[in-house]
A and B are shown apart, each in its own frame.
Chain A
């Protein structure tokens, strides 16, 4: 048992660090680190750079474009990218639909979609939640009725993240209403440019447009866009949820955010002294830091079990709960750190090249909005209460 990197691991780290340093555009990393608004291009530019290097999909089989890295190498890659301020890789293509297509898609689907996922030429979104189906996802009502060579899809999806950029949506639809509700669900790939698809923005409490409603009205989807078998969509959806778990804890990004929190707290003054020296505040930072140190080890323990060939199980739910609680705690402390200027709501100043007025230091601008935005993390991806149900059943046998 040893936390130190081996010579080979150190060499790998230096290789990744060298690549990131040489290629990650500074205007992108600055936006990430300073919590500025990221546009579609910011993600795509970085993902294409990783694709050119062959590093966009570490978790995929090598034959399909993966890297063949072991869990420690993947961990090092995550650490280096996050520390440098690289944007997160958009999960929907590489982490979500990609592995499902590799496992359950037919050859035609794989040939058509996988290369465009790797190259970021298609932007994917996730059609899961519906207005009446949140935590009880299997109750979804969007219907797909087979008519000749097509499914006719009608229904409404919601909370669809960045659907405004999307070319494709992987979508859970109901193809049968009799029997168990899970058994009537199928996994369809829908072209977002099809007639009948309407994307309507949902403005969240931070004033931003990140999620959407997606209306599907008589959308014609070719039957070749059905993944696997009709009625097996729930199985694929569960596979998707359990497949990509290495980054669920977000430890590497939280480390960078914690460092940035300290950077802010060192510049803010309370009673004429740096806020970071205020015991009441530094105690809060220290507690989060200690929780994060523990989560980093817990995360590595899960990775180590993965290397021994054990499938990632409900332990991943522990990572999700603790990871998101820490992310929220850090955003909360950042907002608290800047004091009253956090009140100023100037969304235009969070974009590129803002030359107008600011209130307080530049770093303070987006912090309140970010705090509000991050309330989402304990809700999405299976709320933390659902995660507790998963742990209660899957680990504790209750």
Chain B
């Protein structure tokens, strides 16, 4: 057991921190959000140069070969700088997915394009009316005699869906919405006839899309993994995304904590810095403790997300998302409260961290959703036993 980072991990963290400090100021970020694309091609090239776009890709495929801990380090830095680039969908989710279950051809063709920065992907795993349920899939995929698949349905809140060069979607090859079996994963080129979308901004500075698929024809090589057995893969990819988002949330929460503490020390009222008041000191301590507990859970999720034991993975990831959903909400609300009117402004970065933390709770299931999932995972484990032998004399 150890809590040390390797030299390679420390170098990775250092290079990401330095790059973002140089390029991703709050003003630079706001300028990126204001562009039509909503992300920065230059930053993306920088990520490629740093090797970040191949983070989950194994060294045998010229990637970094990182796991949960490496992703955590990168994402925490992204959280601190409120990065809006399509990294989660492209790298953490899609590149990880391709590296895990992609065919040799898919890996050979797609991974280099992702790593050199010329291809972005987005994952559409949710559908209208399905809330956070990854098995609530009504989109259908039917295979024609010529081997082509025909997709029909719609995907909801596809983060960065409109800037993606390639979509990954879940669709049903058998069964009905809610069934665990019968879900398959496909690559869909957004340029195919029948793919339509509505792009919209999200309140945290990102972009998302509602995507409809109407008689979209895709070739048989577009199937990812085994037909009908997609749900465990979707859950794995979602869990990786959750672990990454937990780390990003910790980055945001830490930034909020630092900003709020700084404000308590500098803002003067009644002739003293407001941090002199015990009622605010104790609130600030509570804020700190929520940050520390959140950090611990992000670390736990990062360490367990690569576990081959799906129950153990699910338990840790859902526990982390639940705690960070609640603690993120607390830290965000108190950061505004302690900043007073200034916390309400769009001008100060505080409110932007608050919005991102709030959005993260909603992505891939909120705290309540993951409390349910955690309890369900716990029920898969045997109950503790405290049975004891009875003393004979007691029964006489």
A contacts, CB < 8 Å to B: 1-6, 9, 30, 33, 72, 259-260, 262-263, 266, 276, 282-283, 286-287, 289-291, 293-298, 300-301, 304, 318, 321-322, 353, 355, 385, 388-389, 391-392, 395-398
| Contact flag A293-B319 (CB < 8 Å), given A1-B69, A3-B1, A3-B303 | yes
Q: Which among B1, B294, B384 is the interface contact of A300 at CB below 8 angstroms? A: B1
Q: Nearest Cβ in chain B — how far from A25, in angstroms?
A: 13
A-B contact pairs, 30 of them (CB 8 A): A1-B5, A1-B9, A1-B303, A3-B1, A5-B1, A283-B371, A286-B375, A287-B322, A289-B378, A290-B319, A290-B322, A290-B371, A290-B374, A293-B297, A293-B316, A294-B294, A294-B297, A294-B300, A295-B296, A297-B300, A298-B295, A300-B1, A321-B289, A353-B394, A392-B284, A396-B281, A396-B288, A398-B275, A398-B281, A398-B284
Q: Which among A263, A295, A389 is the interface contact of B383 at CB below 8 angstroms? A: A263
Residue B261 lies at the interface, judged by CB distance under 8 Å to chain A: yes
A283 to B375, CA, bound (A): 8
Residue B17 lies at the interface, judged by CB distance under 8 Å to chain A: no
A30 to B286, CA, bound (A): 37
- CB pair A259 B384 closer than 8 Å: yes
A385 to B283, CA, bound (A): 11
A193 to B2, CA, bound (A): 48
Residue B323 lies at the interface, judged by CB distance under 8 Å to chain A: yes
Residue B199 lies at the interface, judged by CB distance under 8 Å to chain A: no
Find the A residue at minimum CB distance from B257: A396
Chain B residues within 8 Å of A355, by CB: 394
Chain B residues within 8 Å of A283, by CB: 371, 375
| Contact flag A294-B293 (CB < 8 Å), given A262-B383, A396-B281 | yes
Extra contacts, 19 of them, besides A3-B304, A298-B293, A391-B285 (Cβ < 8 A), are A1-B69, A3-B300, A4-B1, A263-B383, A289-B374, A290-B322, A294-B296, A294-B319, A297-B296, A297-B297, A297-B300, A301-B296, A304-B3, A304-B4, A318-B289, A388-B285, A392-B284, A396-B288, A398-B265
- CB pair A6 B1 closer than 8 Å: yes
Contact pattern, B 1-36, Cβ under 8 Å of A = 1, otherwise 0: 111110001000000000000000000000000000
Chain B residues within 8 Å of A304, by CB: 2-4
Chain B residues within 8 Å of A389, by CB: 278, 281
Q: List 6 tightest A-B contacts by C-beta distance, closest first.
A: A297-B296, A259-B384, A304-B3, A392-B281, A294-B293, A398-B275
Contact pattern, B 293-334, Cβ under 8 Å of A = 1, otherwise 0: 111110110111000000000001001001100000000000
Chain A residues within 8 Å of B316, by CB: 293
Q: Nearest Cβ in chain B — how far from A271, in angstroms?
A: 18
- CB pair A33 B300 closer than 8 Å: no
- CB pair B375 A291 closer than 8 Å: no
Q: Nearest Cβ in chain A — how far from B92, in angstroms?
A: 18
Contact pattern, B 111-137, Cβ under 8 Å of A = 1, otherwise 0: 000000000000000000000000000
Q: Which among B284, B300, B304 is the interface contact of A396 at CB below 8 angstroms? A: B284
A5 to B1, CA, bound (A): 5
- CB pair A1 B299 closer than 8 Å: yes
Chain B residues within 8 Å of A294, by CB: 293-294, 296-297, 300, 319, 323
A259 to B375, CA, bound (A): 14
A72 to B276, CA, bound (A): 39
Chain B residues within 8 Å of A262, by CB: 383-384
- CB pair A286 B386 closer than 8 Å: no
Q: Nearest Cβ in chain A — how far from B382, in angstroms?
A: 10
- CB pair A397 B285 closer than 8 Å: no
Q: Nearest Cβ in chain A — how far from B224, in angstroms?
A: 30
Interface size in chain B (residues, C-beta < 8 A): 45
A147 to B279, CA, bound (A): 47
- CB pair A2 B276 closer than 8 Å: no
- CB pair A318 B275 closer than 8 Å: no
A355 to B393, CA, bound (A): 10
A266 to B379, CA, bound (A): 11
Residue B392 lies at the interface, judged by CB distance under 8 Å to chain A: no
Chain A residues within 8 Å of B304, by CB: 3
Residue B292 lies at the interface, judged by CB distance under 8 Å to chain A: yes
Chain B residues within 8 Å of A395, by CB: 288
Chain B residues within 8 Å of A392, by CB: 278, 281-282, 284-285
Q: Which among A72, A282, A289, A291 is the interface contact of B1 at CB below 8 angstroms? A: A72
Q: Which among B9, B265, B282, B386 is the interface contact of A397 at CB below 8 angstroms? A: B265
- CB pair A398 B276 closer than 8 Å: yes
| Contact flag A282-B281 (CB < 8 Å), given A263-B384, A290-B322 | no
Q: Nearest Cβ in chain B — how far from A299, in angstroms?
A: 9
Chain B residues within 8 Å of A286, by CB: 322, 371, 374-375, 378
Chain B residues within 8 Å of A291, by CB: 293, 323
- CB pair A33 B386 closer than 8 Å: yes
A392 to B276, CA, bound (A): 10
Find the A residue at minimum CB distance from B318: A290
Residue B151 lies at the interface, judged by CB distance under 8 Å to chain A: no
Residue of A262, A297, A322, A353 with most chain B CB atoms under a 10 A cut-off:
A297
| Contact flag A295-B378 (CB < 8 Å), given A1-B3, A263-B386 | no
- CB pair A2 B296 closer than 8 Å: no
Q: Nearest Cβ in chain B — how far from A152, in angstroms?
A: 39
Chain A residues within 8 Å of B288, by CB: 318, 391, 395-396
| Contact flag A287-B371 (CB < 8 Å), given A1-B303, A2-B303, A263-B386 | yes
Q: Which among A290, A297, A353, A397 is the interface contact of B299 at CB below 8 angstroms? A: A297
Residue B385 lies at the interface, judged by CB distance under 8 Å to chain A: yes
- CB pair A388 B375 closer than 8 Å: no
Within 8 A of A (CB), among B362-396: 371, 374-375, 378, 383-386, 388, 394
A72 to B2, CA, bound (A): 8
Residue B264 lies at the interface, judged by CB distance under 8 Å to chain A: yes
Residue of B289, B302, B316, B322 with most chain A CB atoms under a 10 A cut-off:
B289
